[in-house]
C-alpha cells in the first residue's frame, strides 16, 4: 500500500489563541501591534495585518484559560484538504473534518488534526477574501504589522519535529547544532522565506511564539517605544536586537495572557530548489542575538499550553536537550 501524498502546504496562515479578557487582548493585538479587525463579536476577534488579503491571520477567542486552540496552514487546493485528512489518518493521529461554516469564521472546508508532535493543526484552502489594505496608509497604526510570518513551537524532540515537517515537504533554512551535530533548533519553510515553523527545544507540545512581520526595522523600534511611553514596558520580554539565525531584526513581547509574539523584519529569500541549510554551533553566542546579547531565561522556559481536538489541554513531555543549560557567554549562563 503506497504512502499517502502529503498535502501541498503554501504557508503558515493563522493561529487561534484562547484569551481570558477579549477587550484587553484587543488593546494589545489591534491597538498596540496594529492588526486590523476583520470581524468581532462578544467571544471572537478575527485580525489581519495590512498586507493580508484573506479574512484573518489571528483569531482570538474568549475562554477560561489562555491556550493555543490551533495553528493553521493554508494548502494549495481543496483536494489538499482531503490529502491532509488521509495523511494524518494513515499516521493514526486524531483527525476531524470541519465542514465550511462549522469551524473558524471565514474559513471553508478544513481538517483538524493532532500531529505526531502533539500540536493541534488545521489544514484549509478556502478562506474569505478581504478588502485590500496594502496602500491604506491612513489605516495603519501601532507597530503597523504587515502579516503573520511564522509559528515557533516548543517540542522535546527536535529531530522528530524536523522529520515530521520534512515529510510534509518543508525545507530547512537554518539549524542550531551541537559539536556532534545534535539538533537543538531548526527553521523550516514552505513559503520562500526563512521559516513558516521553527522548533525551540523544551517541554512540549507548547506554543513558543507567533512571529509577525513588519516592513521596516523602525516599526520594530516604534513598537518598543509605544509600550514604553504608556508605562506598559513590562510587556517587552526580549530585544530589540538582530538575530543570528534568520538575520531578522526582532522584538519579543508577551500579551496580557502571556502569549509570546515576535515582531520581526528583514529575513531573506529561500526559494531556490538547491537552497542550502545554514548551520550554527550552539556555542556560537551570535546565533540567537548577532550582537551577543544574552537570551533571558523566560524566553527558553515559558510557553503557551495547547489544546487537543476536544478542547482539553494536551499533556506535556520534558525536553531531551536543554540549550539554556549549554555553557556559552552571551546567554549569561556561561
Ligand X SMILES: O=S(=O)(O)c1ccc(O)c(O)c1
Instruction: Give the residues lining the site for ligand X (CB under 6 A).
Output: 150, 152, 198, 211, 243-246, 248, 262, 264, 287-288
The piece of 4-12, 168-176, 211-219, 298-306 that touches Fe ion (CB under 5 A) is: 211-219
Closest distance to ligand X from the beta carbon of 65 (Å)? 24
Half-sphere exposure of 260 (CA within 13 A, CB side): 25
What one-character-per-residue DSSP string does 55-120 give?
S-SEEEEE-SS-EEEEEEEEESSHHHHHHHHHHHHHTT--EEEE-TTSSSTTB-SEEEEE-TTS-E
Annotate each residue in 43-62 with x if it binds Fe ion (CB under 5 A) or - if it does not, as one string: --------------------
Query: Which residue, 246 or 314, is less far from Fe ion as judged by CB?
Result: 246
Residue 241 is a binding residue for Fe ion (CB under 5 A):
no
Identify the CA nearest to 111 among candidates 137, 82, 146. Answer: 82
Which residues touch 84 (CB under 8 Å, ≥6 apart)? 7, 75, 111, 113, 123
d(CA 208, CA 47): 20
243 binds, among ligand X, Fe ion, none (CB under 5 to 8 A by kind): ligand X
237 binds, among Fe ion, ligand X, none (CB under 5 to 8 A by kind): none
70 binds, among ligand X, Fe ion, none (CB under 5 to 8 A by kind): none
Q: Which of residues 249-278 bind Fe ion (CB under 5 A)?
A: 262
Cell 506535556 sits on residue: 316
Query: Which residue, 150 or 164, is less far from ligand X as judged by CB?
Result: 150
Q: Are 78 and 100 in contact (CB under 8 A)?
A: no
Query: Which residue, 74 or 243, is less far from ligand X as judged by CB?
Result: 243
Residue 211 is a binding residue for Fe ion (CB under 5 A):
yes
Rule CB under 5 A: choose which of 152, 155, 293, 314 binds Fe ion. Answer: 152
Closest distance to ligand X from the beta carbon of 61 (Å)? 24
Closest distance to ligand X from the beta carbon of 150 (Å)? 6
Amino acid at each position: 500500500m503506497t504512502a499517502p501524498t502529503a498535502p501541498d502546504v503554501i504557508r503558515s496562515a493563522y493561529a487561534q489563541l484562547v484569551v481570558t479578557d477579549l477587550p484587553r487582548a484587543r488593546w494589545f493585538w489591534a491597538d498596540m501591534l496594529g492588526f486590523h479587525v476583520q470581524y468581532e463579536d462578544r467571544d471572537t476577534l478575527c485580525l489581519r495585518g495590512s498586507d493580508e488579503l484573506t479574512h484573518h491571520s489571528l483569531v482570538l477567542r474568549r475562554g477560561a484559560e489562555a491556550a493555543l486552540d490551533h495553528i493553521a496552514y493554508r494548502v494549495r487546493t481543496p483536494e489538499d484538504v482531503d490529502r491532509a485528512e488521509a495523511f494524518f489518518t494513515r499516521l493514526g493521529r486524531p483527525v476531524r473534518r470541519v465542514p465550511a461554516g462549522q469551524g473558524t469564521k471565514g474559513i471553508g472546508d478544513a481538517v483538524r488534526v493532532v500531529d505526531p508532535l502533539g500540536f493541534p493543526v488545521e489544514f484549509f484552502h478556502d478562506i474569505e477574501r478581504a478588502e485590500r489594505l496594502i496602500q491604506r496608509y491612513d489605516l495603519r497604526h501601532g507597530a503597523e504589522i504587515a502579516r503573520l510570518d511564522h509559528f515557533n513551537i516548543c517540542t522535546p524532540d527536535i529531530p522528530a519535529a524536523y522529520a515530521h515537517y520534512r515529510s510534509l515537504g518543508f525545507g530547512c533554512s537554518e539549524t542550531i547544532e551541537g559539536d556532534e551535530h545534535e539538533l537543538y533548533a531548526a527553521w523550516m519553510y514552505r513559503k520562500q522565506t526563512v521559516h513558516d515553523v521553527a522548533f525551540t527545544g523544551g517541554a512540549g507540545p507548547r506554543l513558543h511564539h507567533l512571529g509577525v512581520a513588519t516592513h521596516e526595522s523602525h516599526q520594530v523600534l516604534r513598537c518598543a517605544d509605544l509600550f514604553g511611553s504608556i508605562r506598559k514596558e513590562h510587556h517587552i520580554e526580549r530585544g530589540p536586537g538582530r538575530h543570528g539565525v534568520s538575520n531578522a531584526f526582532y522584538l519579543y513581547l508577551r500579551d496580557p495572557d502571556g502569549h509570546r509574539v515576535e515582531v520581526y523584519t528583514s529575513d531573506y529569500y529561500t526559494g531556490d530548489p538547491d537552497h542550502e541549510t545554514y548551520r550554527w554551533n550552539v556555542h556560537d553566542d551570535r546565533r540567537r542575538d548577532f550582537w551577543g546579547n544574552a537570551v533571558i531565561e523566560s524566553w527558553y522556559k515559558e510557553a503557551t499550553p495547547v489544546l487537543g481536538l476536544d478542547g482539553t489541554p494536551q499533556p506535556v513531555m520534558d525536553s531531551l536537550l536543554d540549550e539554556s543549560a549549554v555553557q556559552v557567554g552571551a546567554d549569561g549562563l556561561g
